[in-house]
Every structure is written in C-alpha cells, then in structure tokens.
Structure 1
C-alpha cells in the first residue's frame, strides 16, 4: 500500500500525544505514515533520488506500507528513537553506521520540501535553557534572576544575596530507578547548606529566585493560536513543581494578558518555531513570569482537562490549512 500526500509522524512506540494527532488526522481522512527512526535499517527501507532542482523523490517503506517521499505534506517530529543495528556488528561498525544513518537518513528527511512541527534543529537549540531565557527576556517577558554555576561559593552568594528563597532546577528531565523504584528530580527550594554544597562543583547547576505564585499557567502556542490554562497546585510538592504531583492539580481556561501574547509570539518568531508549550508563574498581584518553553511539550493532559482544541490546531498546521511554513534546520 502506497501512502501519498501524507503526514509523516516520527515517534517512538509509545506516545499518547502522537496518538491524539494521528486519531484526529484519521478522522479527517488525511493519510498518516507513522514510523520510528529506530526501525531503520532493519524494518524501514529507504530509496531516494535527486535529479535536478525538483527535489528528492523516492520511498520509505515497511513490510506493509510505502510512503511517497515527494508527496509528504508535513512531518510531525515527536520523540523518535535512535536507529538500531545488529548486536553482531562491532562497536566501531555500529558507530560508523549510526553516523551514516544520521547524516544520510536523517539528512534526507530534513531535505523534504514540507512543513515540520517542530523543525528538529531549531527545537534542539530552543531546549537549551540559557538560550531560551535570554530570548524570553529579549522578547519582553519577565524572567527570574538566574545563576548558572559549578562554584559552590558563587551559589551560596546568590542564595543569600537575592533576599528571597532560591530554587534549584535541572537543565533536563532527570528520571530513573533507585533501589527498584522510579525516581525523578524536580525543582526544589534550597534549604540551609544546600547552596554551597561541594557537589555543586561536579557539573553545571541552575539556580533561580523563588517567584511567589497564585498559580501557574501552561500556555500552548500552535502557530498563531494560543491556548492558556491555569494550573492550581493543591499540595506542597506541586506548589514548588506541579509535575511532581499531577493528582493534586486542577485546571481552568484563562486569557493571557496582551503583553504576554505579544511576547510569546515574538519569542517563537525568534526561535523560528511553530509550536511551544510555555510555563509561567502568575504572582498574587497578577504578574506573569516566564519559566521555560518546551518546543515539543506535552499538551494532552491540558486538552483532556479543559477541552481546549490543541490537537485540532496541530492538525490544521500539519495539513497546511493555516500558518506559516516551517522547515528544519
């Protein structure tokens, strides 16, 4: 079976967020070709040619389906995993094969003449918190006072000098197992002795001033459409980091202030991204403070709790019925 004029969905085997988009595209009658880059090369065959300025043409095929590469209308780049190679290959051979797959297979996909959500190179750049904090400030959004350091003395001076509590945040999600139990590292308010602990010298650490909060807001932006939901924390843990206790959360649709709308649109324009999941703290006085933006963030829990039509907006973008073209870099 050949799939033409399709949306290519690149993601892993378990991805409820991608499932929402695929189900909506199926409902609309839009062809979908779902694949994981881990299937390459054993379960995914690639054959593509270039002849002049017309662009790349050819196929991407599994045992059951074939995708016409020249007719891909959009790529939904979610959470694909790395290509897998036979264990019989030597480590050196796997290293070479992996590099060739990244530049050959991945490079071909990036050369397709279609829109991406999000463009993977730009999304990777935007995931660097120091970069996005700078762009947020340049875009007119308020950001917390922040220190990045591996110097315990500098961390201690920051924590005592800001005149309010300080918070530690990991740069990337940290999850794993410890003694057979799942564990995760969330944002935490520093206690006495934490800020100048010798372990700070082992790597880069991010510290910020604590921002008093009435609630937080997840503001999901799809091209020029904004979907804002208040997140109210009803436990001590969730008050510090709402991701640590989803069961305690309640949600409410809200309208962002005009200056926030302008700021997030300006920020996505500077990042050259069509999508962003923004997190804000809203103070008791109503002031919004930017915390971070995820260029490929989850949104299903917000849509389920509030009914905001985020999936439909994503599908509109992938179908090309709205918005601006965004190509990978």
Structure 2
C-alpha cells in the first residue's frame, strides 16, 4: 500500500527501539499516531462503525484523534496489556481484558493495511519448537535439540552428543530477587553430562541443544526482504556462551551471509508470515552458520548504532509501503 496515510504505532511507552522508527517517520513527514494498548480503555477511546465492507471511526487520546480509515500500516512492537480501574473485581477484570482483546484487538486486525509484524504470526513464531522446525524446513542448519521433562532423557541426549550441551529457556526469564531488589535473568548455560540427570528437569519442559563451537555469532535482521547482518565478537566468558549476558564486552563487524543462509532466512519468514525477524546464528571456526533462533520483534538499535546498518530506514520504507 502506497500513498498518503498514517502509521499507527502500538508499543510500550518507553521503547528506545520504537523511538528510532517514530523519529525517522517524523523526519520523512509521515503522520504517526502512537499509542499503547495499556492506555485502553482508561486513556484511549474507540468508536468504529462497519460501513459496507470496511470499518470507519476513530481512535483518540487526550492529545490526538486517529481516523481509522487513514491507517496505511501498523508498527506493532510489544504493547502492554490493557489496564482497567483498580476497583474492578478480578472476575470483571478478566472479562474486560478478554473483551478488549477481542474487540479492540480484533478491530485493529480487521484494518486493511500492512503490519510489522502481524500479532498472530508473531505470537506463533515465539514458539521455539515451531521456529526450529521451520528453520530446518527452510534449509538452515539447526543444532540437535531435545525438549523434555525426563531427567534421564536429558542424560541420554548428552551421551549421544558426546560432550557439553546447553540449556535455554523457551522465553526470556527475568525477575527480581525477593527482599533484595536485584534484577536477574536466565541466559543460555552450559550443562556438563556429569551433572545429568538432574531432578529439577522433571518440574517443567526444558530445552537442551548441542553446544556449537563459536568463532563468533551473528545478529541478522531481515526487513521486507532486505537483510542486514553483523558479527558479534564477545570478549568475556559469559558473553561467549550467551552474548546477551554481557553487551559491554562486544565488538561488531558488518558481514554478508552465505547465499544459502540468506535464502533460508527469507524462506523462513515467508513460512511464518512475518515481514521482520531478528535472527541469531553461531558461526563455527570452520565458517558454518548454525541457526539458533529468530525473534519476531527483536531489538536492533544496538546493531544499527554500532555498525550504521540502515535498519530503521528499511522498517520505515516497509511501513510507508515503499519497501518489501
């Protein structure tokens, strides 16, 4: 979709990555209406009528009013959940949240415009078992993987691997230590075969993968068919296991993925129904690219800042309808 129209930005109030996109759209004189789902229904008012085969109406806050018919695209980046009056009972709050998701969210989904990224497709892609299967189908090289709650199965897997394995949470785990106010996060961790079986594995689903030797890692960001890749060289022991655990130790270098990897990335996004993905790869000392994961709403600002790769511009091109 090209031509005039507003970009509806749905994101958390404090989101530096989203700020980059809004600032660039403003620089291009593209009209933007930014809101967070958390503003509905207390600070965001919706009124829409079905007129023929399309919805007409408005979305308004204390500052501005958006004509729904003018929306050319939606930038959807981790908006918070709707918030309701404190005095509502838990039962009423639960019903109201469901109605907000089905009504407000459903109306947005019915707008005839492009999304980056479609919420349903992005939510499905968050499932690591699904993305690992799709990556393999798309021709990417995926490490051997086990999902289990059986401690002995974990030990058997490590024995088959014949060396160290890694444990990964299925979704980012962050929290605060009670009584200390200390923020903690669970990152990828090395597990030695002698530490298995471990009884805690029986408490829930766990994901184990073979440990892949690293020359370095790559964050590859794909937007509307365009690919931007940067090597990540971590200088600390923790960073070499999971680079997210020690950003301060990194150096970055722009790189080009092999043609088969680039083709696999684009095929994977097509199968997942996504215009955007932040991919993580390990590059072995032999130069092989091994797929780790894709984040359908992953951060990219730190890569752009370090390398100058024009990722924000590519996102704005897509939202304007001039790219992808």
Provide TM-score, normalisation by structure 2: 0.97
Q: Name the structure 2 match of 1:130.
A: 129
- Give me the whole-angstrom Cα distance separating, in 1, the residues matched to 2:17 and 2:67: 25
Give every structure 1 segment of 4 or more consecutive aligned residues whose post-TM-superposition deviation is greater than 2 Å.
191-195
- Give me the whole-angstrom Cα distance separating, in 2, the residues matched to 1:322 and 1:74: 12
Give 3-state SS (helix, strand or coil) of 2:166's partner: strand
Q: Deviation string for 1:116-144 (max 9, x for gaps)?
A: 00000000000100000000000000000
- Give me the whole-angstrom Cα distance separating, in 1, the residues matched to 2:71 and 2:122: 21
Task: Compute the displacement of 1:192 (Å).
Answer: 4.9
Task: Compute the displacement of 1:12 (Å).
Answer: 0.9
Q: Name the structure 1 match of 2:163.
A: 164
* Runs of 5+ unmatched residues, structure 1: 324-329
- Give me the whole-angstrom Cα distance separating, in 2, the residues matched to 1:194 and 1:34: 49
Question: CA RMSD of the aligned region, Å?
Answer: 0.9
- Give me the whole-angstrom Cα distance separating, in 1, the residues matched to 2:154 and 2:7: 47
* Runs of 5+ unmatched residues, structure 2: none
Q: Name the structure 2 match of 1:180.
A: 181
Q: Name the structure 1 match of 2:267.
A: 266
- Give me the whole-angstrom Cα distance separating, in 2, the residues matched to 1:315 and 1:281: 29
Contact 2:39 2:83 in 1 (8 A): yes
1:1-329 matches, within 5 Å, as 5-53=5-53, 55-178=54-177, 179-323=180-324
- Give me the whole-angstrom Cα distance separating, in 2, the residues matched to 1:166 and 1:157: 11
Task: Compute the displacement of 1:153 (Å).
Answer: 0.5
Q: Deviation string for 1:197-228 (max 9, x for gaps)?
A: 10100000000000011000000000111000
Give 3-state SS (helix, strand or coil) of 2:278's partner: strand
- Give me the whole-angstrom Cα distance separating, in 2, the residues matched to 1:62 and 1:204: 42
Task: Compute the displacement of 1:94 (Å).
Answer: 1.0
Task: Compute the displacement of 1:93 (Å).
Answer: 1.1
- Give me the whole-angstrom Cα distance separating, in 2, the residues matched to 1:126 and 1:299: 18
- Give me the whole-angstrom Cα distance separating, in 2, the residues matched to 1:96 and 1:173: 27
Contact 2:276 2:296 in 1 (8 A): yes
Q: Deviation string for 1:66-102 (max 9, x for gaps)?
A: 0000110100000111111111111111111111111
Give 3-state SS (helix, strand or coil) of 1:321's partner: coil
Q: Deviation string for 1:138-187 (max 9, x for gaps)?
A: 00000000000000010011112211210000000011111321111000
- Give me the whole-angstrom Cα distance separating, in 2, the residues matched to 1:160 and 1:152: 13
Give 3-state SS (helix, strand or coil) of 1:268's partner: helix
Give 3-state SS (helix, strand or coil) of 1:73's partner: strand
- Give me the whole-angstrom Cα distance separating, in 1, the residues matched to 2:73 and 2:167: 38
Q: Deviation string for 1:236-289 (max 9, x for gaps)?
A: 000000000000000000010001011101111111110000000000000000
Provide TM-score, normalisation by structure 1: 0.96
Task: Compute the displacement of 1:188 (Å).
Answer: 0.5
- Give me the whole-angstrom Cα distance separating, in 1, the residues matched to 2:172 and 2:241: 16
Task: Compute the displacement of 1:195 (Å).
Answer: 2.9
- Give me the whole-angstrom Cα distance separating, in 2, the residues matched to 1:276 and 1:100: 30
Number of matched residues? Answer: 319
Contact 2:159 2:193 in 1 (8 A): no
